[in-house]
A and B are shown apart, each in its own frame.
Chain A
Amino acid sequence: MSFSDSFFAAKFGISRRDLENYLSEALSRGGDYADLYFEYLATSSIGIDESIVKSATQGVSLGVGVRVIAGERTGYAYSDDISPEKIKHAAQVAAMIAAGPAKVEKTPLEEGAKRKLYPVLIAPSETAFRERVELAQRADRAARGYDSRVFQVQVTYADNLREVLVATSDGTLNFDRQPLARMSVLVLARDKEGVPQQGHSGGGGRHELEWFQKERTPEYFATEAARQAIVQLGATEAPAGEQIVVLGPGWPGVLLHEAVGHGLEADFNRKGVSAFSGRIGQQVASPLCTVVDDGTIGGRRGSLNVDDEGNETQRNVLIENGILRGYLQDKLSSRILGAAATGSGRRESYEHIPMPRMTNTFMLAGESDPADIIRSVPRGLYCANFAGGQVDITSGNFVFSASESYLIEDGKLTRPVRNATLIGNGPEAMKFVSMVGNDLKLDEGIGVCGKEGQSVPVGVGIPTVRIDRMTVGGTA
């Protein structure tokens, strides 16, 4: 597809000349760089609770963000009206960051290469709403049918279709159509009148709706959520203190996101406020660990053809055999640091300034048999699922909260234990990784990453991993 056939050109009549004019306006008071980010977003969501379809919502938003960079300064303005006068006004507001005569020689806009990481013909949001309601109802029925102890089920289905257009004063012109869908199931179960326990599952990605029929069905997510709730019914107090911890494959990769990923975002490192600042080339993990951030995996929730600054996403090696290799860059940081783009500039919407962000972050598979890893542990904790995590990038301390874990005794999983938070220090914790499984698994596609008030969809993944020392925050 060429620019003239793209969404904003076809639907709103935006031309290259318009874009060049807006960029000129943005640089009219000086400044080194300017860009425009047009975004159209259509969202749908369905909520089922008590087997009743209690909510069905649809909506659209449209707007443009204009950014001007002058040295290390950024000016930003946006408008939810994309008429030429309003865009020009936003450009003038953003331009106030610069002071001086216009000086940038214009680079003609050139269309970027076209990739198709999510070749979706009909996006989920373009299908009949009723079909999506039925998918959600299937999940509700399956969760209730799983076990008679299940007594509450909440199903949420949400999708969106984002059309973006990026034009930059250094000549990039790129556009993308970004579908995304997600289903999640929350189950409560209890024994007779006992204490209820919760199970949660879900997933999705940049796929057609058929993915929920063929790859990951509503029944799959429902069964998984119900299974977790039932397991929790038998859970006892979690241990407290330093333990050997084994992480199961998949979603426990959130460890990497918190322990390593955020600390490697270039904005923190350019300011010298990350625990990883100035550590490129140093050993920050055991030699068994190679961690990548890869925005190019087909159909994944964290993947993008182009980032929100118009750069192609790529596969970035963060840690190679335990050695810190590189940071995740956005345009501002790569300009200041003189570093190559990594395709990591992302933003929540046209109202937000881009920042370096993760896409899909995971550890490459190792050589150990997962069963051998568990067998190797005399006493410890096996964490199969997590609820989420957080990091203080400056001290490097991170936490993540286990939602399904088991005691390991004499090399065997014995009994489930209750929710516990695990805590560690980023540059130190991964030095204690002593075994890495051959079973790399990516998560099901449900992650949301928050940073400075901006949320973006991300993915994580990890093989089974043994960590010889980590603090577990139980009570026993």
Chain B
Amino acid sequence: LRFEDLPEIAQSTIRQALALGAADAECTISEGAEFSANVRMGELETLKEAASRGAGLRVLIGRCMGSSYTSDLTPDGIGLMVRSAIDLAGLTTEDPHADLPEAAELGSVTSDLGLFSDDVASLSTELKIGLAKRAEAAALAYDPRISNSEGASFDSNVGGRVFANSRGFSGSYRSSYCSVSVVPVAVQAGALTGAMTSMERDYWFTAARGLSGLEDAAEVGRIAARRVLRRLGAVKVETQKVPVIFEPRTARTLLGNLFEAVEGRSIYRHASFLAGKLGEKIADARITLIDDGTIPGLFGSQPFDDEGVPTRRTPVIERGIFKSYLLNTYTGRKLGMKTTGNASRGITGNAGIGHGNFYLEAGDKSPDEILRGVKNGFFVTELIGSGVNTVTGDYSRGAVGLWIRDGELAFPVSEVTIASTLQEMLRGVAEIGNDLEFRGSVSAPTVMIGEMTVAGR
């Protein structure tokens, strides 16, 4: 089977489902070929290479739905999948809002989104291993305290996705991905007699749709090296309330939290602190939050969502005002609204909600200027744990970073938490940096929150 054959399999699957009594049907087929090479301490450690496929089906009989999937794309495998979905539709309950998008809503972005680059598949294994080695070698050479490594990797994926439904949509696209990442480990003996040895790790990476988009592997290694070195000798600080600066890597996690609070499922279930707040001022006027699935070359872009609706640009928060939820067809119907083209799923089941390129617009101050304005505060470089409750907005996470004294990064801090509520954090945004970079599908510049509780000693 070639990728070009898959749309016909999807169409045939839908025909079979309709023949067995489905009123509507949707079929997704995806394929992927993955490659990864890991090196550690200059030696190749792991090579992995393989490809796989899967097909999924969702049917509606009346307002009842059933779904199924298979890794077996032979006629027998597809036949079993179709019967399974039809059978299950007999066991679910009528859901008055269950439906496919209207025919008029279906479609695809027509411009080239630059999702696929054929150089990813054609690069030799030796060169890929070489890139990972180059990143790690640069990190290890950077400073004698970087004496160990968890390794470096080159990863790539070349995939394709096919979607068709019984309302006339049929579409497909191919995509590619490649990345180089490295995780150096630094060790430093205790400064005082009897003090603990400090051992830390950090990481850095570059990722792109094609090889030409990758940054220099050696520079990736040097950035990772600087990041891990500045963590050595971290201490716990006193519990206090201070301004907190999130560097881009941690600021983007705040967007992840906000996404959960603006997506339609949590809104219609009242499981979001932002439910019912559309049109209200929920954030400082500096905040403009955009979802855009149509920016060429970025990881959050795709021509149509996982229900066959074109992706688009949706301002979610504009200058502090809550402008739009992110919706698929189902949650749109629940809320008396239209889909925003944000349907997302694996290969089967009801569509959930995903984002395109979800980003916070840049401000005009440089990160250095923001830092210089803080007398006593916390600069967060890593967050761990899952302590964010989007129902209530309560926020409490483990944090690692650097203490700010008189506008400068003074010393490393770890084993502390930062806490507030997302409501107060949104309103309390005091600065936004000019350093927005799209390094993944969620992106943010430096963000400073006026006050949070840092819990330590």
Contact = CB atoms under 8 A, between A and B. Distances in A.
A361 B88 CA distance: 37
B65 A60 contact: no
B12 interface: no
A313 interface: no
A49 B270 CA distance: 13
B72 A60 contact: yes
B269 A188 contact: yes
A184 B334 CA distance: 24
B384 A388 contact: no
Interface string B108-127: 00000000000000000100
Given A76-B47, A394-B185, A420-B396, A198 B385 contact: no
B3 to A, nearest CB: 15
A58 B84 contact: yes
Interface string A342-357: 0000000001010000
Contacts of B231: 395
Nearest to A388: B386
B441 interface: no
A473 B456 CA distance: 8
Given A54-B98, A133-B91, A390-B385, A59 B397 contact: no
B178 interface: no
A373 interface: no
Contact of B92 (A53, A93, A387, A473): A53
A77 B392 contact: no
B389 A392 contact: no
Contact of A195 (B43, B44, B392, B453): B392
A449 interface: no
Contacts of B366: none
Contact of A56 (B88, B384, B420): B88
A63 interface: yes
Contact of A197 (B392, B396, B398): B392
Interface in A388-403: 388-392, 394-395, 397-401
Nearest to A77: B50
B394 A188 contact: no
A353 B46 contact: yes
Contacts, number: 253
Interface string A430-453: 000000000000000000000000
Interface stretch (A103-111, A202-210, A364-372, A421-429): A421-429
B99 interface: no
B71 A62 contact: yes
A56 B57 CA distance: 12
B48 A77 contact: yes
Contacts of B236: 471
A273 B148 contact: yes
A423 B415 contact: yes
Contact of B417 (A152, A390, A399): A399
Interface in B355-412: 382, 384-387, 389, 391-392, 394, 396-398, 400
Given A78-B52, A198-B391, A397 B47 contact: no
Contacts of B348: 57, 59
A304 B382 CA distance: 35
Given A59-B81, A198-B389, A473-B397, A390 B45 contact: no
A373 B239 CA distance: 27
A347 B174 CA distance: 28
A58 B92 CA distance: 13
A75 B394 CA distance: 45
B455 interface: yes
Contacts of A392: 201, 382, 384, 400
A151 interface: yes
B349 A55 contact: yes
B185 to A, nearest CB: 5
Given A58-B84, A198-B391, A395-B414, A52 B385 contact: no
Interface in A271-306: 271-273, 275
Contacts of A151: 270
Interface residues on A, range: 35 or more
Contacts of A60: 69-72, 80
Contact of A61 (B71, B350, B391): B71
Nearest to B56: A59
A145 interface: no
A418 B43 contact: no
B26 to A, nearest CB: 13
B226 interface: no
A471 B416 contact: yes
A401 B91 contact: no
A152 B50 contact: no
Nearest to B81: A59
Given A73-B46, A390-B398, A474 B385 contact: no
Nearest to B452: A475
Contacts of B52: 63, 78-80, 351
A108 to B, nearest CB: 28
A55 B67 contact: yes
B234 interface: yes
B53 interface: yes
B150 A152 contact: no
Contacts of A420: 387, 396, 417, 419
Contact of B93 (A45, A53, A80): A53
Nearest to B67: A57
B159 interface: no
A90 interface: yes
A471 B417 contact: yes
A11 interface: no
Nearest to A268: B150
A27 B384 CA distance: 42
B392 A196 contact: yes
A59 B415 contact: no
B431 to A, nearest CB: 22
Nearest to B398: A399
B393 to A, nearest CB: 9
Contact of A397 (B93, B392, B398): B398
Interface in B433-457: 453, 455-457
A471 B350 CA distance: 41
B186 to A, nearest CB: 9
A474 B50 contact: no
Interface stretch (A15-23, A235-243, A317-325, A455-463): A235-243
7 contacts: A57-B69, A96-B47, A197-B391, A395-B200, A419-B389, A471-B416, A475-B419
Interface of A: 45, 47, 49, 51-63, 72-80, 90, 93, 96-97, 129-130, 133, 151-152, 154, 188, 190, 195-198, 238, 240-242, 271-273, 275, 351, 353, 387-392, 394-395, 397-401, 418-421, 423-425, 471-475
Q: Which 10 A-B pairs have the closest CB atoms?
A: A473-B417, A399-B385, A59-B69, A399-B398, A421-B387, A241-B239, A240-B455, A394-B201, A56-B88, A401-B387
